[in-house]
Amino acid sequence: MVQRRRSGNWRLWVIVGAIAVAALVMTGRLVQLQIVDHEQYASQARLTHMGQETLSGRRGALLDRNGYPLAASEDTYDVMVERRAWQDPAVAAQAAAAISAVTGVAPEQMLDTVAQTQVFEVAVARGLNYEQATQVRKLGLRGARLLCSSRRVYPEGNLAAPLLGFVGQDNVGLTGLEADLDDILDGTKGSVTYERDGLGDQLALGHRHEVPSQPGADVVLTIDRYLQRLVEKELDEAIQKHQASGGSIIVIQPKTGEILAMASRPSFDLTKLDLSDESKLALFRNRAITDQYEPGSVFKLVTTAAALDLGLVSPDTWWHDEGVVRVSGWSIYNWDYSANGDQTVTQILSKSLNTGAAWLAQQVGPERFYQYVDRFGFGRPTDIGLSGEATGRVRTPENDPDNWRPVDMATNSFGQGITVTPLQMAMALATIANDGLAMKPHIVREIRSPSGRQAVEPEPLGQVISPQTARTLRQMMGVVVDGIPTYLLDVQGYRVGGKTGTANIVTEGGGYKPDAYISSFVGIAPLEEPALAILVKIDEPKDVPWGTVVAAPGFGRIVQAALAYMKVPPQEPALVSKPQ
């Protein structure tokens, strides 16, 4: 009996032990599932039952000075499909065909996209508009949902393309103002997390957490779309007519320093961007600020301004032109190798005498000459707020004492041996137009966001020349324009002033490119109360090099149209009637 009872106890303990081991194994497995691998399984569960969407903050628009959008974002939708929902080929083919009927994307392409993806869900169609999105939503496809997105649109087409720049697929600005103002334009992203049902739709009483997105600010530019289009049209016509390689036109409001128009060529198509071709990358730069060139005779305005402002000469001061000026063993001739005899300072400007400009610079002296060059803003960036701005190169006795020679000042006086950007030259002109007061150039007029408005006020930089000197110089510029034949430059109803320039093109090696020139014209209108300062620069015209022939006609047409558009009244004789 005792033996049998012991045997029975042993069997009982084996069963109990087995149960205990099984319980321990199960407990261990539970610990592994619930504690050790908790996060892994929890995230898998969340992926199945929880949905998450990123709410993109609407990117702000770039508006012209009157509120017309030049670049703005349009809300679009992407069709997202869960990989597991399209595992059945028949179901997937049917769904793809239905989406294709709305979006136009080939069903095979969508099926391939889903088949090749390794992630939970993938976009099979992008950039749907509101109508298309509504149709896709009505299809009620299992495992398919619409994700809000956006794309950049340009209501005015390619207007001001190098200035505006463009954004990448992730809506981040890559070039131009889109890149420079990215922090302002870019909205803050938000997110929404929610529990969803088997169809992927949100559960009515499920968990939902939303972090709202914030839209970016709209930026109002100083650019006027009418003037911008006008100058681009004139620039294109001049380039085509003279088979030029490119060019720039800048229009400035002298009193404020506001850039009303800034065009440069060659340019690119904003709506058909090709970032894969590296040879086209150069098209994306804004040549009005990035390219530096020898300004040529238009720089005589700076030399004359310095001499006038110091009281060394007046417009009627006489000087004898022998056709050559010798400086440190170098001979400087006029552009046409002429010797003009007795000439006034005004005639030095109107006949564009290199010898006269060199003589004026010698009267001023190197120290004061380069002081004026600096005060006009050459040799340093204008700080307009656009990236990639070149500084230009000005060699002075101070910054390069080893290489500077007196002949440098002589050649600088008529715009050679010195490089500037189109914007620097235009701003120097604007200073003359603004009675000698230099203004800081700016391209942003106002920033408008839901939280308020922030206006950019005009910023004076300092008095470069006296108001009297500026007015005198403007009258001399009027005489220059009077000497241009009317078939080349004739602005009806307004008196305008300007200066032509024809300059050689510097090569990377340091010499000049043979038979290649930059033709330019800088002008002010109207002469008495300047409303516009305009620079027209045409690169490498093939037929004639002269700024008078290549650049001045475009200036005239721009002024004629722009002043009427800006409601600047013409001189009395041009008026047909006056109000009673």
The residues of the shown chain that bind another protein, judged by CB under 8 A, are 58, 66-69, 72-77, 129-130, 133-134, 148, 153, 155-157, 159, 202, 204-205, 215, 218, 225-226, 229, 448-450, 492-493, 560, 564, 567, 569-570, 574-580
Burial environment of residue 194 by CB neighbours within 10 A (0 to 12, 13 to 18, 19 or more): middle
Terminal alpha carbon distance of the chain:
140
Distances (CA, A) of 545 to 7, 236, 339, 516, 551: 120, 17, 22, 8, 10
CA dihedral defined by 152, 155, 160, 165, rounded to 10 degrees? 0
Closest by Cα among 92, 130, 147 to 114: 92
Q: How far is the CB of 122 from another protein (least distance, A)?
A: 22
Comparing CB distances to another protein, the nearer of 187 and 356 is 187
Distances (CA, A) of 310 to 298, 372, 465, 472, 524: 20, 10, 9, 13, 23
Query: What are residue 534's DSSP bridge partners?
Result: 251, 523
Comparing CB distances to another protein, the nearer of 94 and 449 is 449
Comparing CB distances to another protein, the nearer of 187 and 417 is 187
Q: How far is the CB of 569 from another protein (least distance, A)?
A: 6
Q: Contact 226/261 with Cβ under 8 angstroms?
A: no
Q: How far is the CB of 206 from another protein (least distance, A)?
A: 9
Pairwise CA distance, residues 555 & 261, whole Å: 13
Q: How far is the CB of 553 from another protein (least distance, A)?
A: 16
Comparing CB distances to another protein, the nearer of 206 and 458 is 206
Pairwise CA distance, residues 548 & 202, whole Å: 70
Q: How far is the CB of 140 from another protein (least distance, A)?
A: 14
Which conformational region is residue 495 in: left (phi greater than 0), alpha (psi within -120 to 50 degrees), or beta?
Answer: beta
Please say whether the dihedral angle defined by the alpha carbons of residues 396, 400, 406 and 407, taken in this order, is positive or negative.
negative
Please say whether the dihedral angle defined by the alpha carbons of residues 224, 226, 230 and 236, taken in this order, is positive or negative.
positive
Comparing CB distances to another protein, the nearer of 93 and 203 is 203
Pairwise CA distance, residues 476 & 366, whole Å: 24
Q: Contact 191/53 with Cβ under 8 angstroms?
A: yes
Pairwise CA distance, residues 493 & 406, whole Å: 44
Pairwise CA distance, residues 345 & 361, whole Å: 12
Comparing CB distances to another protein, the nearer of 66 and 87 is 66
Catalytic residue among 56, 149, 213, 297: 297
Pairwise CA distance, residues 174 & 165, whole Å: 7
Q: How far is the CB of 141 from another protein (least distance, A)?
A: 16
Give residue for tokens 């099979």. 124
Please say whether the dihedral angle defined by the alpha carbons of residues 391, 397, 400 and 404, taken in this order, is positive or negative.
positive
Phi/psi of residue 181, nearest 5 degrees: -105, 20
Q: How far is the CB of 156 from another protein (least distance, A)?
A: 5
Phi/psi of residue 325, nearest 5 degrees: -125, 130
**If DSSP codes are grouped into helix, strand and coil, which group holds residue 252?**
strand
Q: How far is the CB of 389 from another protein (least distance, A)?
A: 28
Is 213 known to be catalytic? Answer: no
Pairwise CA distance, residues 521 & 238, whole Å: 13
Which conformational region is residue 510 in: left (phi greater than 0), alpha (psi within -120 to 50 degrees), or beta?
Answer: left
Comparing CB distances to another protein, the nearer of 488 and 561 is 561
Comparing CB distances to another protein, the nearer of 361 and 496 is 496
CA dihedral defined by 296, 301, 305, 306, rounded to 10 degrees? 0
The CB density around residue 112, as the number of other CB atoms within 10 Å, is 13
Closest by Cα among 354, 378, 343 to 479: 343
Comparing CB distances to another protein, the nearer of 49 and 229 is 229
Q: How far is the CB of 391 from another protein (least distance, A)?
A: 35
Comparing CB distances to another protein, the nearer of 41 and 130 is 130
Q: How far is the CB of 570 from another protein (least distance, A)?
A: 5
Q: Contact 554/522 with Cβ under 8 angstroms?
A: no
Comparing CB distances to another protein, the nearer of 397 and 493 is 493
Closest by Cα among 219, 176, 175 to 59: 219
Q: How far is the CB of 324 from another protein (least distance, A)?
A: 46
Q: Contact 81/144 with Cβ under 8 angstroms?
A: yes
Q: Contact 472/308 with Cβ under 8 angstroms?
A: yes
Catalytically annotated residues:
297
